[in-house]
Amino acid sequence: MPERPDARWLRWLGLSAAVLALDLASKAWIASVFDPGEGHDVTGFLRLVLVYNEGAAFSFLADAGGWQRWLFMGLAVAICAVLVAMLRRQHANTLVALALALVLGGALGNLWDRATLGHVVDFVVVHAGAHAFPAFNVADSAITVGVALLLWESIRPRAVPDAARASRGRDA
């Protein structure tokens, strides 16, 4: 009887689906409450405002005439495929799998917007006085946290196993 493939990695797809659902629900809510450009101050540094972004991060290529939608969608599909493959291989490493699942969920959220609306719905603006960070959404937040976790995983100190420590002592 053939060995059953390890399906534990699918739980991480569940996290990606939860990120996607939260992202889409929050965008639907904000679009139902605000008109484009309309906003509401939540705190002295946080504002909700409905913004449509036809570009990429920080509105990169937003005024490019429409072709960028297809470019960004193609890139997102390719990136999502790579993320799924990486997630399948890395599912046992909790930190890496968590990071990949967050990035995948966020990428799918913004891909959904581009495919169905032709733009990404952004609605969170963090500001200090006249200085504001570009508007973002739940998907962008998940991507940012996921990338930060991947960076942390790549630079964090690792414990050296006792066997490796002992062999180094003999080689000296």
Tens-place pLDDT, residues 34-64: 999 998 999 999 999 999 987 665 555 555 5
CA atoms within a 13 Å half-sphere pointing along the CA-CB vector of 41:
7
Confirm whether 162 is a catalytic residue: no
Query: Do residues 54 and 71 lie in contact, with contact meaning Cβ atoms separated by under 8 Å?
Result: no
Q: Looking at residue 61, what is its pLDDT?
A: 53
Catalytic residue, from 23, 63, 113, 122: name it.
Answer: 122
**Listed range (1-15, 103-117, 146-160) with the worst mean pLDDT:** 1-15
Q: Looking at residue 3, what is its pLDDT?
A: 46
3-state secondary structure of 123: strand
Catalytic residue, from 41, 113, 140, 171: name it.
Answer: 140
Confirm whether 140 is a catalytic residue: yes
**So where are the chain's domains?**
10-157
CA atoms within a 13 Å half-sphere pointing along the CA-CB vector of 14:
6
Residues in the chain: 172
Q: What percent of the chain is helix, strand and coil (3-state, nearest 5)?
A: 60, 15, 25
Tens-place pLDDT, residues 77-91: 999 999 999 999 988
pTM of the model: 0.82
